[in-house]
Amino acid sequence: MARSILKALSKRSFPVAQTNVQGYLARRDDTSVLHLPNGNPYAFNLLNVNADQVPIVYEAMGSLFFLDRFNIGFWFWELSQFPEMWKNSFRYLDEVWVASTFVQCAVAQASPVPVVNVRVPILPPSPSPLTRAKLGLPTDKHLFLYVFDGLSFHERKNPLGLIRAYRMAFEPDFRHSALVIKTTNLNRNPELAHLLQQEMKSVSGILIDRYMTREELSGLFHLCDAYVSLHRSEGFGLTLAETMSLGKPVIATAYSSNMDFMTPANSYLVACRLVELERDYGPYQKGNLWAEPDLQQAAILMRRVMDNPEEARQKGQQAKQDMESLYGVQAVSNLIMSRLERIQGQPRRTKQTI
């Protein structure tokens, strides 16, 4: 997200600089913005880290980094209620930016500072010369793709629900279609790894559990026929937006942040009901709500996408137009630049300590 914002603003010749805060879990092979000036010489600091990381970054960078700057956090969150344990992070900031109305509503309920939805620029995955054969994918089947990180909580991402819905849609032989799930870091969750392997085997699916190069990942998105996410909640839905920007049909749960850019005209929306969490899942605490998608309807929609290619193509083309109009570089950089201009004269942090 930080890279996409830097790229969007620099394409508009807006003065930007970057400070790369190293993280031990993050790959460091994308250097596409590291040619930009380093440091924070300008009036605004935009911290592209979530609420839980803000105090850590403040400690790492030191108070002088924040001094005499208007400090903005760019946050994502997946539930409708903001966690009490992260409210201390507001004290480091003058404003919070978010990328969806869903997150804006959740954060604003708890925030003592303004919370502004500036969206986020969606840069379509670059064209790739790779073929299905090069990526080990079948060349004669309709491919349904889903991508998630194994470090995310799979209960929220719901890949097991997707496999069940795919089974409902295409059992018993799966001759004309294939489900492809791309993930990483399953080695950190052996129980989930074993379960996913068994479930994918039962539907003759393809499980890719490794880091891909940017070229390989772009190729995967370009080579799929449709994308499916039966998530229970999303803080944005980046892979959904990226696939839509390529003009591909997308099937997804009709809940949370993706509802800002998904409509019946440009995608296939899966009905759901809200359910209460019966226990904690990491930061997602018992008593909160998320969605339970209708797997039977999801199965019907997967069949519909495969059996009605012209309708799917039209929805994909509408999605591509909508993403460019609302989330293209021009549209989002306009929002960001307009907001910065509006708050240009507002007071900045003048204390060295918090």
pLDDT in tens, 153-183: 999 999 999 999 999 999 998 999 999 999 9
* pLDDT given at position 50: 97
Tell me how far apart the alpha carbons of residues 108 and 277 are, in angstroms, rounded to a whole number: 22
Question: For the chain, how big is the Rg over CA atoms in Å?
Answer: 21
pLDDT band (50, 70, 90) for residue 151: confident
pLDDT in tens, 199-234: 999 999 999 999 999 999 999 999 999 999 999 999
pLDDT in tens, 8-60: 999 899 999 999 887 655 566 677 787 888 999 999 999 999 999 999 999 99
Spell out the residues 6+ positions from residue 144 whose beta carbon is closer than 8 angstroms to its own: 166, 177, 178, 179, 180, 224, 225, 226, 227, 228, 302
Q: How, if at all, do strands 250-253 and 226-229 pair?
A: parallel
* pLDDT given at position 26: 58
Tell me how far apart the alpha carbons of residues 290 and 285 are, in angstroms, rounded to a whole number: 11
Give the pLDDT mean for 94-104: 98
* pLDDT given at position 336: 97
Give the pLDDT mean for 327-341: 96
Mean of all residue pLDDT scores within the chain = 94
* pLDDT given at position 196: 97
Tell me how far apart the alpha carbons of residues 271 and 264 are, in angstroms, rounded to a whole number: 12
Spell out the residues 6+ positions from residue 159 whose beta carbon is closer than 8 angstroms to its own: 146, 148, 181, 183, 196
* pLDDT given at position 68: 94
Q: Which of 149, 48, 40, 57 is nearest to 98 (CA)?
A: 48
Q: Tell me the domains of the chain and their CATH numbers.
A: 2-121+329-342 (3.40.50), 142-327 (3.40.50.2000)
Residue with tokens 């039977």: 296
Polymer length of the chain: 354
Whether the per-residue pLDDT at 353 is higher than 60: the answer is no
Whether the per-residue pLDDT at 354 is higher than 80: the answer is no
Give the pLDDT mean for 128-139: 96
Burial of 264 (0-12, 13-18, 19+ CB in 10 A): exposed
* pLDDT given at position 352: 56
Cβ contact 249:267 at 8 Å = yes
Q: Residue 6: what are its φ and ψ, rounded to 5°?
A: -60, -45
Cβ contact 193:186 at 8 Å = yes
Cβ contact 262:269 at 8 Å = yes
Tell me how far apart the alpha carbons of residues 260 and 119 are, in angstroms, rounded to a whole number: 9
